[in-house]
Amino acid sequence: MGGKRLKISLLLAAVILLGAVGYVGFRLFSPSETTHTESRNARVPYSRPPSVVVPAVVPGWQSVAGRDGSYAYDVPPDWTPKPETMRNWQADGRGPVLRLARPAFHGKGYCESDRDRPRGGTGVATSKAPDASVKIATELAKHVYGNAKLEIEPSQETQIPFEHGKTRTGVITMIEVTPEPGECEPAKAYVGAISIASGENGNPKCAVMAVYSDDTVSREQALQILKSYRWVPPSNRTTTVPPR
């Protein structure tokens, strides 16, 4: 019974966190909108909730949208979006727990001893740190590549179009990673993150989008993924209802 309760608690925690990440992205990009939840009668057959699809802005790529479609980022066509899942790294001496929601992956199955290990991935998180992009990128690099050599580049700013012709400032941090020799460890890897402040007085939270990959993805391509992180106008959001 105790194990069952623990599993239920962990599931509820994951659901709550997914909602929180979506909420921060929602507040970041669509502060004037509101959301609601509905209860579901246990006797009614379950049907998947509607999803929001948005167009990619990078030609030939595919988008990964937030739950309400207010934000999105793009990944190359050979990546696999998994927006309904969450990527977790537990605290193991390499840093605090790190969770990335709305992820995408590429290269799963390349490692014989760890078939679930992908070559790279993306996802969104939140942070209250003043240097949120540095913090998340560094934590991610340590979790994925262990005791690797990290060369942290100076952060750079980029302007992100927002509603009513406004812009938000995004801060990008890139890290070149040289992992220690080992099975399935690449010679070189890149980790990066872009952080965007909430824009609300008294709210220190930033929305952060992160990417990591071995050298099958170039630094320029990783940077392009980060720069595709954006607010999506309502006119570009399409709601689809999956079949029962």
CATH number of 60's domain = 3.40.1000.10
244, part of any domain:
no
Report angle CA 63, 67, 73 to the nearest 5 degrees: 25
pTM of the model: 0.80
177, part of any domain:
yes
- Residue ranges making up the domain that contains 58: 2-30+54-232
| CA torsion, ordered 143, 170, 73, 134, to nearest 10 deg | -10
**Residue 94 identity (one-letter amino acid):** R
170, part of any domain:
yes
92, part of any domain:
yes
39, part of any domain:
no
pLDDT tens-digit series, residues 101-142:
999 999 999 999 999 999 999 999 999 999 999 999 999 999
Please state the domain count of the chain.
Answer: 1
pLDDT tens-digit series, residues 93-112:
655 689 999 999 999 999 99
3-class DSSP assignment, residue 230? strand
38, part of any domain:
no
Per-residue pLDDT 10s for the chain (244 aa) are 444 443 434 344 444 444 445 444 435 543 333 333 333 444 556 566 778 999 999 999 999 999 999 999 999 999 999 998 999 887 666 556 899 999 999 999 999 999 999 999 999 999 999 999 999 999 999 999 999 999 999 999 999 888 888 889 999 999 999 999 999 999 999 999 999 987 666 667 899 999 999 999 999 999 999 999 999 999 999 998 777 6
182, part of any domain:
yes
